[in-house]
Amino acid sequence: MPKIVFNGVTKFYGSSLVVGEVSFAVEDESLTVLVGPSGCGKSTLLGLTAGLDVPSSGSIAIGGRTVNGIGEEVALIFQHNNLFPWATACDNVAFGLEMRGLRRRAARSRARQLLQEVGLESCLEKVPEEMSGGMRQRVALARAVALSHKVILMDEPFT
Amino acid sequence: MKPPGPSVSFFFPIVQTVAPIAPVAWIPLAISAAGIGSGAAVLIVVLTIFGSVTASAVAAFDAVPLEYIKVGRLLGAERTRLLWRVVLPAAAPSLMTVARMSFFGAWMAVLAGEMAGINSGLGALIMFGQQQFNMRLVMIGIVTIGLLGFLVDQLLLAFQKRLLWWENRAQKQDLGRAENRF
């Protein structure tokens, strides 16, 4: 089960230090909040955890496995551009399921269930622009939980 | 996004150099390469729009928000499916604009070619009318060019609306919001 361990994680972009010597652990089945001023490296840390980027030094391990690329155990919800504007709510949620090998019809069926669970049964065929900000974030949440990820990272998703 | 690879770094300056060359500058080269006729016209069109289409298409792909690519990758999309299911739809609105603008460029290029040396087509018809002092023929040529351009643009616009269906729905939503506000 996932226990996330940051061990001396440092990240440079060019010559500028973005994250410096971060070490901490996140226990299983816990909720952890990173708080800090803009530009302090919160999003970078989440990106590193999701495997979208690699630390300049140090390491991150999830459930004992060192993160060195995008893994199947992590979902990341961004503040903006969470949803694909060219896809309906249902297709947005079904996207990840299709990418993991589910047939389109089965993926959409599962997506409908998840959207009903977040109270968006009336928005299945709406595109993101036709929904409010809160509705979009709920679709993003449904999409994140669709793949039963063990870790859900949220980068200011409710602002 | 990753920095451009060596092939892009090598070819893009060539594209940028070719892009600003006016269609009329290509006419002598096209005629000497393909002879007088439709072959030269096609060559002029290709040479004229190649640079601008390539540069605009690269800009359209570069403008795809990084978050979409990150989300696609996190949701398990591999390289090919990421391109087809994420990058292309995200770039599609800009690419359609490039297509419509390039059509006008190509249309003007071929007419310039026809008027300046390729003795066939509507451009040549206008030149013939000029030489014969036949303004009616000139006007017929001009109106036909305009109408054909309008018709093709309308077809492209209809295709764009069909292809970018989500944008139409978003526009309707925006109009509804604006009406509610006033």
Q: Where does residue B99 rank: exposed (0-12), middle (13-18), buried (19+ CB within 10 A)?
A: middle
- Phi then psi for residue B139, to 5 deg, are -65, -40
DSSP for B115-148?
A: HHT---HHHHHHHHHHHTT-HHHHHHHHHHHHHH
CB contact under 8 A, A100 and B76: yes
Q: What is the CATH number of the domain that holds A11?
A: 3.40.50.300
Q: Which residues pair with A152 in a beta bridge?
A: A75
CB contact under 8 A, A81 and B92: no
Q: Where does residue B31 rank: exposed (0-12), middle (13-18), buried (19+ CB within 10 A)?
A: buried
Could you tell me if residue A43 is inside a domain?
Answer: yes
Could you tell me if residue A35 is inside a domain?
Answer: yes
Same domain, A96 and A143: yes
| A138 near B CB under 8 A | no
Could you tell me if residue A53 is inside a domain?
Answer: yes
For the complex shown, is ipTM > 0.90? no
Q: Which of A72, A78, A86 sits opposite B89 (nearest CB)?
A: A86
Same domain, A58 and A20: yes
Which chain B residue is nearest to residue A53, measuring alpha carbons? Answer: B70
Max alpha carbon distance in chain A (Å)? Answer: 50
Tokens of B177: 């919001």
Count of domains in chain B? 1
Q: What is the pLDDT of residues A10-61, one digit of tens each?
A: 999 989 999 999 999 999 889 999 998 988 889 999 999 999 999 999 999 9
Range of the domain at B132: 6-181
pLDDT for the residue numbered B181: 65
Gap from B91 CA to chain A (nearest CA, Å): 11
pTM of the model: 0.79
**Residue B13, CA distances (Å) to B9, B10, B18, B19, B51 in order:** 7, 7, 9, 10, 10
Could you tell me if residue B139 is inside a domain?
Answer: yes
Same domain, A8 and A45: yes
Same domain, A142 and A104: yes
Could you tell me if residue A138 is inside a domain?
Answer: yes
Could you tell me if residue A22 is inside a domain?
Answer: yes
Q: What is the CA radius of gyration of chain A?
A: 17
Q: Nearest to residue A10, comparing CAs of A55, A45, A49?
A: A55
Is residue A138 a contact partner of residue A146, using CB atoms and an 8 Å limit?
no
Would you put residue B58 in left (φ > 0), alpha (ψ -120 to 50) or beta? alpha
Range of the domain at A27: 4-71
CB contact under 8 A, B169 and A127: yes
- What is the mean pLDDT for each group of 10 consecutive residues in chain B (182 residues)? 61 82 84 82 86 88 90 90 95 93 86 74 86 91 92 94 88 71 64
Answer with the one of A41, A71, A101 that is the final residue of a domain.
A71
Could you tell me if residue B1 is inside a domain?
Answer: no
pLDDT for the residue numbered B160: 93
Distance of CA A96 to the CA centre of its chain: 12
Could you tell me if residue A78 is inside a domain?
Answer: no
Q: Where does residue A39 rank: exposed (0-12), middle (13-18), buried (19+ CB within 10 A)?
A: exposed
Give chain B positions within 8 Å (CB) of A143.
75
Could you tell me if residue A156 is inside a domain?
Answer: no
Q: What is the CATH number of the domain that holds B121?
A: 1.10.3720.10
With a pLDDT cut of 90, the percent of chain A lying above it is 59
Could you tell me if residue A44 is inside a domain?
Answer: yes
Q: Nearest to residue A19, comparing CAs of A54, A62, A52?
A: A54
Count of domains in chain A? 2
Interface of B with A (CB under 8 A): 65, 67-68, 70-78, 81, 85-86, 89-90, 92, 164, 166, 169-170, 173-174
